[in-house]
């Protein structure tokens, strides 16, 4: 049954250069949207996700059901499962890997550091190992993060800026991933593109992120903590709408060159890229709350608190000129429009059954 579903899921309908994409973290927020976009245009897509309980598993299952309705099969497995991944590569010819599975969230790293090492370092290496051994090798696009800029205060952040001051273990594992990508490209000829996403938000989003948990708490009449950075300055984020991120991911897959390795050996130079995918217009947290209040039609109970040292950084702001030039990336949705769509989705998805507990993370 399992094999049949993988094969069916990977049957491409697109005649002009169809791709067969393995999407890791497919039941996650970004993975769901990217999988749907690829399938919609006719590519073959198979997903993998371990449905971990970092946030509500029911939401991941609902995303999986949505994907199933569109003919996308998500295998319930861990990216560290080498045997399973090898079997998938034997069953179908994967041309591209969109690697999105990771332990996300900066604050949770203080509670469970091991999960970051396990998924973001060991898991990433396993994905690269499987791709290195595959014949032919797929091209890989994977999610790094804007968090690699860490304590850097020179904004907007460009890809050439320093990334040697991570503020959280999450950021450190993403930075380590970029170094690991370099070695697999250098030694084995894997074509690898890293994408530094900037605070992605939208329908089917992540309940641990501030815009989501604020919405939940505002609707329940519960107070929300609004952090302030050094000198009582409001925190700001370069919030990027999910559809814009999806465009950037798909363009990265489309422009990815073939890997040049064979039998685990490099036969020529291979592509290695890194791009910021942001919105280039940071918004402060109080302004985010103003917009939520407007669309929820409820006043928030704001509690202003000094930002604890928990892995957060005071602000993010992307320079996206590299992605603009090389991927024709052009973010089109501003925070007002994007949050309106999120609130609409939230109200229709949860109705009156809003879950009670939530984490807050960026
Ligand atoms: P998400 O948590 O919703 O999705 C990640 C998915 O990966 C989850 O469904 C999880 O169950 C799965 N997963 C985790 N570890 C796994 C493992 N070992 N094996 C198999 N599956 C595993 O997060 P997201 O927001 O969709 O993020 C996608 C990617 O983008 C992640 O790599 C994240 O670090 C990165 N990123 C996200 C943002 C953002 O704002 N959402 C910003 C920067 C970077």
> How does pLDDT run across 153-178, given as a tens digit for each residue?
899 999 999 999 999 999 999 999 99
State which ligand 1 atom lies nearest to the alpha carbon of 81.
Answer: 19
Interface pTM, i.e. ipTM:
1.00
State if pTM tops 0.90: yes
Output the pLDDT for position 311.
83
Cβ contact 361:209 at 8 Å: yes
CA of 15 to the centre of ligand 1 (A): 31
Cβ contact 242:277 at 8 Å: no
Is any atom of ligand 1 closer than 6 Å to the C-beta of 166?
Answer: no
Q: Classify residue 357 by burial, with Cβ atoms within 10 Å: 0-12, 13-18, 19+.
A: exposed
Tokens of 66: 């949505």
Low-confidence ranges of the chain (pLDDT < 70): 352-362
Q: Which residues are catalytic?
A: 170
CA atoms in the 13 A half-sphere facing the CB of 192: 27
CA of 102 to the centre of ligand 1 (A): 4
CA of 44 to the centre of ligand 1 (A): 21
Output the pLDDT for position 352.
55
Is any atom of ligand 1 closer than 6 Å to the C-beta of 67?
Answer: no
CA of 139 to the centre of ligand 1 (A): 20
Dihedrals φ, ψ of 231, to 5°?
55, 35
State which ligand 1 atom lies nearest to the alpha carbon of 197.
Answer: 43
Cβ contact 34:246 at 8 Å: yes
Cβ contact 318:270 at 8 Å: no
Tokens of 171: 């950021």
Which of 105, 107, 110, 151 minimizes the C-alpha distance to 314?
Answer: 151
Is any atom of ligand 1 closer than 6 Å to the C-beta of 109?
Answer: no
CA of 70 to the centre of ligand 1 (A): 21
Tokens of 148: 């690699």
Output the pLDDT for position 361.
36
State which ligand 1 atom lies nearest to the alpha carbon of 200.
Answer: 40
Give CA separation, 342 vs 52, 204, 350, 362, in Å: 23, 8, 12, 16
CA atoms in the 13 A half-sphere facing the CB of 110: 11
Q: Whose CA is nearest to atom 18 of ligand 1?
A: 119
Dihedrals φ, ψ of 244, to 5°?
-70, -40
Domains of the chain plus CATH, in order, are 2-200+240-277 (3.40.50.720)
Is any atom of ligand 1 closer than 6 Å to the C-beta of 238?
Answer: no
Beta pairing, strands 20-24 & 272-277: unpaired
Is any atom of ligand 1 closer than 6 Å to the C-beta of 119?
Answer: yes
Is any atom of ligand 1 closer than 6 Å to the C-beta of 25?
Answer: yes
Q: Tens digits of per-residue pLDDT, 324-342? A: 999 999 999 999 999 999 9
Tokens of 5: 């579903």
Output the pLDDT for position 200.
98
Output the pLDDT for position 265.
84
CA of 231 to the centre of ligand 1 (A): 33
Is any atom of ligand 1 closer than 6 Å to the C-beta of 100?
Answer: yes
Is any atom of ligand 1 closer than 6 Å to the C-beta of 35?
Answer: no
Tokens of 355: 């879950």
Which of 27, 28, 116 has most ligand 1 atoms within 8 Å of CB, for mutation?
28
């Amino acid at each position: 049954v399992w094999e049949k579903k993988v094969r069916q899921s990977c049957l491409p309908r697109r005649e002009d250069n169809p791709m067969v994409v393995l999407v890791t973290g497919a039941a996650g927020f970004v993975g769901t949207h990217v999988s749907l976009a690829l399938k919609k245009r006719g590519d073959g897509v198979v997903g993998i996700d371990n449905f971990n309980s970092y946030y509500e598993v029911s939401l991941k299952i609902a995303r999986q059901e949505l994907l199933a309705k569109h003919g996308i099969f998500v295998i319930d497995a861990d990216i560290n499962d080498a045997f399973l991944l090898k079997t998938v590569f034997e069953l179908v010819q994967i041309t591209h890997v969109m690697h999105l599975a990771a332990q996300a969230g900066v604050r949770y790293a203080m509670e469970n550091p091991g999960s970051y090492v396990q998924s973001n370092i060991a898991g990433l290496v396993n994905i690269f190992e499987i791709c290195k051994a595959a014949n032919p090798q797929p091209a890989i696009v994977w999610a790094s993060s804007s968090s690699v800029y860490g304590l850097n205060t020179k904004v907007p952040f460009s890809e050439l800026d320093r990334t040697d001051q991570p503020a959280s273990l999450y950021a450190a594992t993403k930075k380590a991933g970029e170094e690991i990508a370099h070695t697999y490209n250098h030694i084995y000829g894997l074509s690898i593109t890293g994408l530094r996403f900037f605070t992605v938000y939208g329908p089917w989003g992540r309940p641990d992120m501030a815009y989501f948990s604020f919405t939940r708490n505002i609707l329940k009449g519960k107070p929300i903590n609004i952090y302030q950075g050094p000198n009582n300055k409001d925190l700001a984020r370069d919030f990027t709408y999910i559809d814009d991120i999806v465009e950037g991911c798909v363009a990265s897959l489309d422009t990815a060159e073939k890997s040049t390795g064979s039998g685990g050996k490099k036969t020529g130079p291979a592509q290695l890229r890194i791009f910021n995918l942001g919105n280039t217009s940071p918004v402060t947290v109080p302004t985010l709350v103003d917009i939520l209040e407007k669309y929820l039609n409820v006043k928030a109970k704001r509690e202003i608190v000094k930002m604890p040292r928990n892995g957060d950084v005071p602000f993010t702001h992307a320079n996206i000129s590299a992605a603009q030039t090389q991927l024709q990336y052009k973010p089109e949705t501003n925070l007002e429009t994007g949050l309106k769509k999120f609130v609409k989705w939230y109200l229709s998805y949860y109705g009156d059954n809003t879950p009670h507990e939530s984490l807050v993370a960026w």
